[in-house]
Amino acid sequence: MLKVDSKLQKYFKGFCYSSHIIMVCLYMKFRFSLSYRDIEELCKLRGLTIDHATLQRWVIRFASLLEGRFRSRKKAVNASWRMDETYIKVNGQWTYLYRAVDKYGATIDFLLRKKRDKQAAKSFFKKAIKQHGKPDKINVDKSGANKAALDAINQSYDEGTKIIIRQNKYLNNMIEQDHRFIKKRTKLTLGFKSFHGARQTIKGIEILHMIKKGQLKNDNDNNKTIFEQFISLVA
């Protein structure tokens, strides 16, 4: 049975179900291409009556907490990045998910924005640099907005220390391939109903994807399953 970190027990208080059941439901949502109603039905097979709306509230409540716990244990990444954005439908409108991986495929960071422009790209780069430090080089597509955002960020660095900007289409094949997992997780649904709900769900999906890649520090225990690593975020 899951033993929650004493600092986090307050987050699990007031629920009719144990922290272990909550984490199992979150794992199913973030790990597999399942709707809330699919998970509701699976829970019934185990004798649990959990409404799909309750499952959605759990995602909204716990996604940011899990993200913060993951980031505190995230492994270091390489200083050569590949950045690109993909499209996510929210309430019938297209939004833009900015993502980056290093040259070995490890996820750098992600950010969902309503617009695809210089400011959105700049916000993504600042977030990624804050977590991982300044990279040596970043490869982007031919988008003028991404290049302009990096040019603006480079203004704060001295000559000789600026980020090298590359726009090689071939180098971005890796990040474009990596986008496929997010499409797989969302294609079976009709899209997200709200921007906040989409952002919180994507946090969980990205966390599981990074755990699957081996990006979570596991205190020298490399034999843990993906699920065991996931629930360790609150243990």
DSSP 8-state symbol, 96: E
Residue 204 has phi, psi (to 5 degrees) of -65, -40
User: Domain boundaries in the chain?
Assistant: 9-73+216-234, 80-182
Distance CA 128, CA 135 (A): 9
What pLDDT shows up at residue 123? 98
What pLDDT shows up at residue 226? 95
110: helix, strand or coil:
strand
Distance CA 10, CA 83 (A): 37
* Contacts of 11 by beta carbon, 8 Å cutoff, 6+ apart: 61, 62, 65
What pLDDT shows up at residue 214? 95
DSSP 8-state symbol, 44: H
Give the CA distances from residue 68 to residues 137, 201, 207, in Å, rounded to whole numbers and listed in that order: 26, 14, 10
Distance CA 148, CA 102 (A): 21
Distance CA 180, CA 174 (A): 10
Distance CA 181, CA 101 (A): 13
Domain at 80-182, CATH from 3.10.20.30, 3.30.420.10, 3.40.50.1820, 3.30.499.10:
3.30.420.10
Distance CA 148, CA 112 (A): 19
What pLDDT shows up at residue 2? 86
Averaged in consecutive runs of 10 residues, what is the pLDDT profile of the chain (235 residues)? 88 92 97 93 96 96 97 97 94 94 97 96 97 97 93 94 94 92 73 91 96 88 90 95
What pLDDT shows up at residue 143? 83
